């Protein structure tokens, strides 16, 4: 009892081949789209490479690029098979390849599904990577004279301005590091000396933030220094001031940005999985229908197309038996050798017996 059997007349076979040819070219376009999506995501991740500590999240765009390329190749092969399917002389050469093609197409669907799952699962890893990267960025903000770190300041400033964020978790992260380089501190000044002596590490800490934390939407010109002291500015209340600086932390801002990017591509990827699956199923129907037609006496007649030759349980039992056979073939079996020797002796006796009667008659 075949699984999901359908009857195919010659006309239906032709229609199926034509429809599948169009569908496989659509799938090629989808593969190209997936590849471009992977490239775009990779470029976006590489742009902010400096504030990310590890590259675990890069597995998503890498997979997308690989799957895109493989999908273009596989679906192009499918379109060639469709072109040859209605020609009885050219179709048989694709027979062996088709088995491999089905395996590749299934693998592509599974990989695409894995990409969608990974893009959600790796959010934690992305946050960790950003936490460490941003912490280092803020620590090295002042080191504009150290080779290898001289662009940290510009990177962090541009990041805060572009993503409208301040600090790692919030703006208070800037209170805990010295972000003004010692080259610009007047060590003879009493104020500087007091601040340096006020903490164990001898750092110049202040309750101020860099200019890139300023929010342009604030109605008042930006207050950067002495933020915790409500008396240092006229008409300023530290607890209730909301618009002066950006309130979001950069880790949150960047995570939201990348998650938004990956989530918005989720529906597109899922629909491409559906397209690939429909190409796979239609190809199976076409293969079985055309092979059935070739086996008939009149090639123009009706044939049957199915997904599996027997139903699921029987196919599973078949596959299991084949696998066990393959395993048995690898084992050396002493009992079968002795049985083979006995059989050989019996055959020799039989030929002798066959040889002797004729002289009697």
Interface with another protein (CB under 8 A): 144-145, 150, 153-154, 157-158, 161, 179-181, 183-186, 189, 210-212, 214, 216-217, 219-222, 224, 233-235
CB of 177 to another protein, least distance (A): 13
Question: In the complex with another protein, which residue's Cβ is closer, 10 or 181?
Answer: 181
User: Is residue 140 within 8 Å of 149, Cβ to Cβ?
Assistant: yes
CB of 114 to another protein, least distance (A): 39
CB of 166 to another protein, least distance (A): 13
Structural element, H or E, at residue 156: helix 152-163
Question: In the complex with another protein, which residue's Cβ is closer, 114 or 222?
Answer: 222
How far is Cα 25 from Cα 36, in angstroms, rounded to an integer? 17
Radius of gyration, CA atoms only, the chain: 36
Q: What are phi and psi of 52, to 5 degrees?
A: -115, 135
Count of C-beta atoms within a 10 Å radius of residue 153: 19
How far is Cα 118 from Cα 98, in angstroms, rounded to an integer? 30
Question: In the complex with another protein, which residue's Cβ is closer, 80 or 139?
Answer: 139
CB of 157 to another protein, least distance (A): 3
User: Is residue 176 within 8 Å of 228, Cβ to Cβ?
Assistant: no
Question: In the complex with another protein, which residue's Cβ is closer, 86 or 209?
Answer: 209
C-alpha closest to that of 268 among 19, 8, 32: 32
Query: In Å, how far are 52, 132, 170 from 248, measured between CA atoms?
Result: 18, 17, 6
CB of 246 to another protein, least distance (A): 12
Strand stretches in the chain, DSSP E:
6-8, 303-305
CB of 207 to another protein, least distance (A): 14
């Amino acid at each position: 009892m075949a699984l999901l059997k359908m009857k195919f007349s010659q006309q239906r076979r032709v229609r199926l081949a034509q429809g599948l040819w169009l569908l496989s070219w659509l799938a090629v376009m989808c593969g190209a789209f997936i590849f471009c999506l992977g490239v775009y995501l990779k470029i976006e991740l590489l742009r902010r490479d400096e504030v990310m500590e590890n590259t675990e999240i890069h597995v998503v765009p890498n997979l997308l690029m690989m799957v895109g390329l493989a999908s273009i190749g596989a679906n192009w092969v499918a379109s060639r098979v469709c072109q040859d399917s209605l020609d009885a002389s050219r179709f048989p050469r694709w027979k062996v390849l088709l088995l491999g093609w089905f395996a590749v197409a299934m693998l592509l669907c599974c990989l695409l599904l894995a990409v969608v799952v990974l893009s959600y699962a790796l959010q934690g890893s992305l946050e960790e990577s950003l936490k460490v990267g941003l912490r280092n960025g803020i620590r090295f903000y002042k080191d504009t004279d150290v080779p290898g770190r001289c662009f940290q300041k510009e990177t962090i400033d541009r990041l805060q301005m572009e993503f409208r964020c301040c600090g790692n978790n919030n703006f208070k992260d800037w209170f805990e590091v010295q972000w003004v380089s010692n080259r610009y501190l007047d060590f003879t000044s009493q104020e500087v000396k007091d601040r340096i002596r006020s903490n164990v590490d001898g750092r110049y800490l202040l309750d101020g933030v860099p200019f890139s934390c300023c929010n342009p939407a604030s109605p008042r010109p930006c207050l950067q220094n002495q933020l915790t002291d409500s008396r240092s500015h006229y008409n300023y209340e530290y607890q209730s001031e909301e618009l002066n600086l950006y309130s979001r932390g950069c880790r949150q801002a960047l995570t939201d940005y990348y998650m938004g990017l990956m989530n918005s591509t989720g529906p597109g990827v899922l629909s491409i999985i559906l397209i690939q699956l429909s190409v796979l199923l239609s190809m199976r129907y076409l293969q079985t229908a055309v092979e059935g037609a070739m086996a008939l006496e009149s090639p123009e007649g009706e044939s049957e197309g199915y997904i599996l030759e027997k139903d699921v349980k029987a196919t599973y039992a078949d596959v299991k038996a084949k696998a066990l056979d393959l395993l048995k073939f690898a084992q050396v079996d002493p009992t079968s050798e002795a049985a083979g020797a006995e059989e050989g002796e019996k055959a020799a006796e039989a030929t002798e017996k066959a040889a002797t009667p004729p002289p009697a008659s």
